[in-house]
Amino acid sequence: MDEIRVETDATGAVRTITINRPDKRNAISNAMFDELTELFTLEPPASERVTVLRSEGHVFCSGIDLNQRLEHGAPPLDTLCEAIRDYPLPVVARVQGDAIAGGAFTALFCDFVIAAEEARIWVSLVQIGLAPPYPLTRHLTELASLARARELVLLGDPVLGKDLAEAGVITAGVPLDQLDAEVDRIVERLAKNAPLSLRAIKATLNQPAYEAASTDHIVAQIVKARDSEDGREGVKARLERRMPVYGGR
């Protein structure tokens, strides 16, 4: 049984990555870390618009396989999370159940997090004598208020998906029976957009504070999208009151 399953829809626009280890509550082994990180460091094909990250079973992900942590030291959770953040196109997390420790961070580094209302987002590392890698905790302070980030990482108690959605930390918290419909709605909207625009906007959103770093490479992406065939097609289609047909050029 493949512990990481990758599927692409017929159009090539939507890639779905499934963590498939439900008997271990979808804990991520070192080999799985390597495979997932590679999937998020590959250059997307021209047809791709969005990746969905999901899992099988009732638990989204219980985090790092602690048996392997004891055997081999700290697995590269921060490397995986940063690869998800830096992936050029949007990533949507479908969180059907508990996302614990490394599983919580893996979800929270996605661009959109759609969670079941009662799913527990649980950054529990402090409760087992550990601390999250520096960039992961700093990312939480960007997503949430400092007060909410403190609650998540210093107490290590679970917070429900509906509460994080109300606080604006994740995209949406919905009843479990509506989860797939809401994920599909977001994915379908993203898949209709031009890939060069998606790349430029995601790069802009991921950039540190404007004054803190050079933005020349991002400005170049914005200009590339503006002057592309897709950019012209989008404007033309809007004027002609039809859906655009994007080619990634």
Q: What is the pLDDT of residue 219?
A: 73
Q: What is the pLDDT of residue 71?
A: 60
Q: What b/e sequence results for 117-135 when a residue is b if at least 16 CB atoms lie within 10 Å of its CB, and e otherwise?
A: bebbbbbbbbeeeeebbee
Q: Residues 229, 231, 237, CA angle at the centre, nearest 5°?
A: 95
Tokens of 114: 């759609």
Q: What is the pLDDT of residue 74?
A: 60
Per-residue pLDDT of the chain (249 residues; tens, 9 = 90+): 699 999 999 999 999 999 999 999 999 998 999 999 999 999 999 999 999 999 999 999 999 887 766 565 566 888 999 999 999 999 999 999 999 999 999 999 999 999 999 999 999 888 877 788 888 888 888 888 888 899 899 999 999 999 999 999 999 999 999 999 999 999 999 999 999 999 999 999 988 655 556 667 777 876 777 788 887 887 788 778 888 888 888
Domain spanning 4-190 has what CATH number? 3.90.226.10
pTM of the model: 0.89
Q: What b/e sequence results for 24-59 when a residue is b if at least 16 CB atoms lie within 10 Å of its CB, and e otherwise?
A: ebbbbbbebbebbbebbeeebeebbbbbbbbbbbeb
Residue 234's alpha-carbon distances to 76, 220, 227, in angstroms, are 40, 19, 11
Cβ neighbours of residue 77 closer than 8 Å, sequence gap 6 or more: 33, 64, 102, 105, 106, 133, 136
Question: 3-class SS at 167?
Answer: coil
Q: What is the pLDDT of residue 243?
A: 84
- Supply the DSSP symbol for 119: P
Q: What is the pLDDT of residue 209?
A: 57
Q: What is the pLDDT of residue 70?
A: 56
Q: What is the pLDDT of residue 212?
A: 59
- Do 164 and 170 contact (CB within 8 A), yes or no? yes
Q: What is the pLDDT of residue 211?
A: 53
Q: What is the pLDDT of residue 247?
A: 86
